[in-house]
Amino acid sequence: MNTLKFSIVLLFLLTFMGCHVGRLTSAMAAPDSTDPVAERMLLYQRSNGGWPQDDGDDVAYDEALTEAQRAAVLADKSQDDTTFDDESTTREITYLLGAHQRTDNPAYLKAASMGIDFILSAQYANGGFPQEYPDTSGYHGHITYNDNVTIDLLTLLRKVSEGKAEYAALPATQREAAGRAVENGINSILATQYVHAGKLTAWGAQHDRNTLAPAPARAFEPVSLSGKESVEIVRFLMEVPQPGEDIREAVRAAVEWLDAVRIDGYRQDRIEAPDQPTGRDRIIVADSSSTIWGRFYEIGTWRPIFIGRDGIIKYELKDIENERRTGYGFYGHWAKDLIKKEYPSWEERIAG
């Protein structure tokens, strides 16, 4: 009798413990949670692995979608409207990798990995990247530095290749491919640095994918060298741990050019202007304590240039229409810290 009772109790305990362990194991195997922003990124991801913009703006992933909106996004899944403009695609990949690290949700890692493959497939054989892919028609197909497109992509790929933190979850083969893409991208940067009168200078906002020469984009983005995008290119090159002589030469030449084209003694102010179409304006004011740089420099003369939607080059900001004066950044302090702080520190680092 006692033996029977013991057997029944033992059977009960084993059954209870088995069920409990089974539930615990299932809970451990399942993702900890989902992330609503990441879930919307999965929804917007196109079949080719990249992401679109929302009519030229960032997609508002923090906003909930109605069922009708969800259906509309899903209906566009196969569209080839994917882009790298304004951190599109790199933003989503970065977020999804972080979300995967927080939640252990495999769907986020899979989507991020697919996005990285999409970036790798978009790189030209010469190492450059277009603004959009697979639609490389018109200026979208230029090697694009404008708004830091290429630098954003290469920065992401560099992190992938290093495989630290959330990037460690990516496949080793993908990390290796990213490393090769970074090297190829650096070669493209060096090849597109503009040579004037036998001397290296800086970069345009975009370069022809075949000739590698500076190229135009929209009507108000002419052939020129950039006082903005060139700064981020130099910063990227300075992050190379052990730069070769070609990178050192490129950095030094670009910094020399940026220092030569600086505009001392002026600043740009934003003001209220009720008499103007936009109700505001941008003006240049004398200020002995300020140094600024032009967004676009005319090749050869190195004069800052300003262009409205008519495509006509002007030499003073006030001479283009109010909408472009206020709607586009023609002046900035972009190279200030680079020249005064970052470049000298870089020279000290590589000398050591």
Residue located via tokens 């959330």: 166
On whether residue 20 sits in a domain, the answer given is no
Q: What is the pLDDT of residue 352?
A: 82
Instruction: Convert the pLDDT of each residue in 116-170 to its tens digit.
Output: 999 999 999 999 999 999 999 999 999 999 999 999 999 999 999 999 999 999 9
Q: Which of 137, 160, 192 represents a domain boundary (last residue)?
A: 192
Q: Which of 143, 159, 192 represents a domain boundary (last residue)?
A: 192
Q: What is the pLDDT of residue 19?
A: 45
Q: What is the pLDDT of residue 325?
A: 97
Instruction: Domain of residue 333: give its range.
Output: 194-352
Please check the confidence at residue 24 and state whether its pLDDT lies above 60: no
DSSP 187-202: HHHHHHS-EETTEE--
247 band by pLDDT with thresholds 50, 70 and 90:
very high
Average pLDDT, the chain: 93
Residue 130 · residue 209 · CB < 8 Å: yes
140-143 long-range contacts (CB < 8 A, ≥24 apart) are 141/209, 142/206, 142/207, 142/208, 142/209, 142/215, 142/217, 143/188, 143/192, 143/206, 143/207, 143/208, 143/209, 143/212
The CATH number of the domain holding residue 143 is 1.50.10.20
The rounded distance, in Å, linking the Cα atoms of 205 and 148 is: 9
- Where would I find the beta strands (DSSP E) of 170-319? 195-196, 199-200, 206-207, 225-226, 263-272, 280-294, 296-297, 306-307, 313-314
Q: What is the pLDDT of residue 290?
A: 98
| Domain count of the fold of the chain | 2
DSSP conformation class of 218: S
Please check the confidence at residue 102 and state whether its pLDDT lies above 50: yes
- Does 154 lie in the same domain as 287? no
Section 253-274 average pLDDT: 98
On whether residue 10 sits in a domain, the answer given is no
Please check the confidence at residue 203 and state whether its pLDDT lies above 70: yes
310 band by pLDDT with thresholds 50, 70 and 90:
very high
Instruction: Convert the pLDDT of each residue in 232-243 to its tens digit.
Output: 999 999 999 999
- Does 188 lie in the same domain as 40? yes
Please check the confidence at residue 3 and state whether its pLDDT lies above 90: no
Which of 3 and 215 is assigned the larger pLDDT? 215
Element (H, E) at 331: strand 331-332
DSSP conformation class of 125: T
Q: What is the pLDDT of residue 32?
A: 57
Residue 313 · residue 305 · CB < 8 Å: yes
Q: Which of 152, 174, 192 represents a domain boundary (last residue)?
A: 192
27 band by pLDDT with thresholds 50, 70 and 90:
very low
- Does 258 lie in the same domain as 165? no
- Does 212 lie in the same domain as 149? no
Q: What is the pLDDT of residue 23?
A: 41
- Does 211 lie in the same domain as 321? yes
Residue 193 · residue 234 · CB < 8 Å: no
Section 307-316 average pLDDT: 98
Comparing 4-8, 46-50, 52-56, 180-184, the range with the smallest average pLDDT is 4-8
On whether residue 61 sits in a domain, the answer given is yes
- Does 147 lie in the same domain as 49? yes
